[in-house]
Structure 1
């Protein structure tokens, strides 16, 4: 069993070595890893080459639609805001909440970063917030570390729920059940992240002086995640969490941190922002909430959108489970109208009108968005193709069976496996696609709830965002520290592992009678 698991893990080890040691570009590393998976599936697992090819093509197709489709239109909206100049107004709004730079950094990196993550993901929030933090006067190394670590809180839901969709496809569980379970776990962890951010920002003094603001932001963020993922729609979880976390605004009306060391703002920066430009700046987020509410909450619009979608077995792919059924991964869902990417495209078109951009400038922004994500799109397609080959050939089951040999300890290891996947690939979406089925297979063998194991992969995975090579590269290049990624890593890895340990303990308690009431369906 150990040798079989080692053979099944070879594609993942290839990906790890090429990314972490050789430092090869992620899309090239994914291609080599996919090639090794094809060779193993063909020779060791005796999967016919035609079936391997069909599975890989379906995985790549799922990577392009809906995942890359979502990312493309989300990045476009962000570029529209920046092209119109309204994105800067959002930053000014958040920085005006407090004269204390630690509170400003907390609100920008944590609250505002979550809103950007809900639209873009894949390192975009790290790049944007680190630049803003640098403008506030933070040292480059600290700005990069804060931006990278803050991005861990919202990443479980990523770009409009992309990680949850990938996890549902890999495991066969309902997207809504997975979103609800991830929301219950991440809402607890969300309270811890801002407190650790203060330690990165200003050590123990920062925690001692500013903890009420951090606690308010964390509790608000966690409450927003839980309520939206469990009672509304998981696609908007990060948007709602970012908005609710700004309850810190209410707190700051009655309290300011002691030991504030900021200088009075110049008179130009103290001027109030006119209401109309401010409404225009936040309009895309408001439209996003309304649009997803219409297509997600049961009603005439939601039913109309659902009726336009279709599902079909992937042509030529003839795969059966041990029980003789067709696995969910072999069925392709084409919900073209209700896809998050289509909703984002509609919101983007409306945003062009609201932001008063010329059509030519909007189209140029779309071309810029295509250029920006082209390598990420190739990486995602290759990683999803890799995950489909591993899942459909039986490699994921082999790894799960071996992990099941750890018995009850597996509940403690489940979150670490997700962390490893994200640290490896830089994406919670990719990690869920790679390890989701493996987690469920191992959970069933040890008597753990499969839904809990799948959700823990996503929630634990986000702590690896701060250690992923591509995210470290984005943070370092944004603040002018190219080549010093190792310094940023040393700045964040200890705190990241502390939060991961808390999540692993939470997952283990959820697998026992102590906290099993937190599991969806119990």
Structure 2
């Protein structure tokens, strides 16, 4: 048995906090200054954290190692499994050419650059964020806009700014799902709170995008379209995040936004067609992709993601979820059958040498188990969608399997990164380092609600991932909030919501965007384009969270 000590360095909180901060500062330095590859930075940070846990916090080495394995397993399932299957589904549509039909169905709706930015950068980018995430939204959307005639720097910058509102629910909700393990707070509760913050941003971002592009007067010309795009997205985002869970807000909100704006454009057109001053009208018109596919072909191309939406929705129903994980106690025959299967595909073995072997300061043992829900994992629903997609798009089993192997190969390093970052999150929690930092941050007192999203913003700036930021700082946010009387769910949501506007200045995101539009080597130009917008938006979110912790506390679920 080992008891946690949150002030192990000379019994001083600030000295202990400095030591606890070392792995985080190293991680920042490794990525932002040394530009290490993500998996190298993650693994070396993890190693440093283990060394400090053993030497400075006097945690037994065996317990430290087993804590890392607990986190790594959680990083692989459910997090890694969702990433693999969602990217796999997306790659199937690309490989068979159906993604081109999806793209053309969007870009053929209008020649106005303002409306193209709404459809592609905002709505379509959000769809890609929800279905695949991890660089795909910015890369594809920016390349598409550049191909249509947008200035490459503008194309990249606009897509980075647009890719804010959907980030917290990206890759089928993984940034929010990932916080449940280290913090113990249900993902559904965090999803509800994020869904009461980001819709305000979702309404504002379409207006802000067009304002950046065209100025005030030209923005007012398309205000009706902006309202349709933003409000339809925000309302769907709120309802899905609060009543369905974190997996579907991006996918459903983007689909509703695209359809709503497309239908609206059938009956309404702006007074003038806006193009950039640097492009000729003839050239601009010639670059617009005109879809010639019939409605049936477009529906078929979108069908894999419609199937995905249906299956994820089914997996999210509480009774179905309980049956899939072997915890169903009802009388429904079909669910009882699924429950019988789920019992044999759900494993929660205790972590050897760690389960109930660590005592918190009050002397209570801390449980530690490997959580392996194979059938109930959202990734399994996505894999089933990929199986159905095989028949929809008419791909052979051989090509289907080859694409899956290609996906595994492409994602091996991101998966290692995720596993190492989750491992670090767990060792930071079990050793007490996160709690030490939370106790130090609590000294900011009543101002912490304002700074809470800024912590998530800094985390995403460095890691390039809302998921990684949530894993790094989730428990810290929870501990700090509890110590100052702030609702922990609000703090966790603030970390994720603040993180979304850090994505546009993340070195990784900027590198992806520049590569997509042929601006490699011009990363500093793009950073200067996005930094002022990122700072402005994080201040807005900080103010919102502060108000929600005080006068708007009724918004907390």
TM-score range, shorter chain: over 0.9
Indicate the residue corresponding to 1:248 in structure 2.
261
Residue 217 (structure 1) shift: 1.4
Which consecutive residues of structure 2, in runs of 5 or more, have no partner in the other structure? 1-12, 276-280, 327-341
Aligned positions of 1:369-384 closer than 5 A: 369-384=407-422
Which consecutive residues of structure 1, in runs of 5 or more, have no partner in the other structure? none
SS of 1:261 mapped into structure 2:
coil
Indicate the residue corresponding to 1:319 in structure 2.
358
Indicate the residue corresponding to 1:336 in structure 2.
374
Indicate the residue corresponding to 1:304 in structure 2.
323
Residue in structure 1 matching 2:58, options 43, 46, 51: 46
Please state if 1:433 is matched with 2:446.
no
Indicate if the aligned counterparts of 1:98 and 1:256 stay in contact, CA closer than 8 A.
no
Residue 268 (structure 1) shift: 9.8
Residue in structure 2 matching 1:280, options 296, 300, 308: 300
> Residues of 2 paired with 1:270 and 1:237: CA distance?
29
Indicate if the aligned counterparts of 1:352 and 1:358 stay in contact, CA closer than 8 A.
yes
Indicate the residue corresponding to 1:168 in structure 2.
180
SS of 1:244 mapped into structure 2:
helix
SS of 1:405 mapped into structure 2:
helix
Residue 7 (structure 1) shift: 1.2
Residue in structure 2 matching 1:295, options 309, 312, 315: 315
> Residues of 2 paired with 1:493 and 1:118: CA distance?
24
Give CA-to-partner distance per residue, 1:276-315, whole Å, 9 cap, x none.
Answer: 221111111110121122222244x444312123434322
Indicate the residue corresponding to 1:117 in structure 2.
129
Residue 367 (structure 1) shift: 2.2
Stretch deviating more after TM superposition (127-136 or 264-273): 264-273
Indicate if the aligned counterparts of 2:105 and 2:291 stay in contact, CA closer than 8 A.
no
SS of 2:358 mapped into structure 1:
coil
Residue in structure 2 matching 1:221, options 230, 233, 258: 233
Residue 261 (structure 1) shift: 3.3
Stretch deviating more after TM superposition (196-205 or 482-491): 196-205
Please state if 1:456 is matched with 2:456.
no
Give CA-to-partner distance per residue, 1:57-92, whole Å, 9 cap, x none.
Answer: 111111111111111111111111011111011111
> Residues of 1 paired with 2:462 and 2:203: CA distance?
25
Residue in structure 2 matching 1:28, options 40, 54, 73: 40
Please state if 1:16 is matched with 2:35.
no
Give CA-to-partner distance per residue, 1:482-504, whole Å, 9 cap, x none.
Answer: 12111111111111221111111
Indicate if the aligned counterparts of 2:450 and 2:545 stay in contact, CA closer than 8 A.
yes
Indicate the residue corresponding to 2:386 in structure 1.
348
SS of 1:156 mapped into structure 2:
helix
Residue 215 (structure 1) shift: 2.7
Please state if 1:98 is matched with 2:135.
no
Indicate if the aligned counterparts of 2:463 and 2:469 stay in contact, CA closer than 8 A.
yes
> Residues of 2 paired with 1:237 and 1:298: CA distance?
17
> Residues of 2 paired with 1:111 and 1:356: CA distance?
28
Indicate the residue corresponding to 1:208 in structure 2.
220
RMSD: 1.8
CA pair 313-189 structure 1, distance change in 2 beyond 3 A: farther
Larger Rg: 2
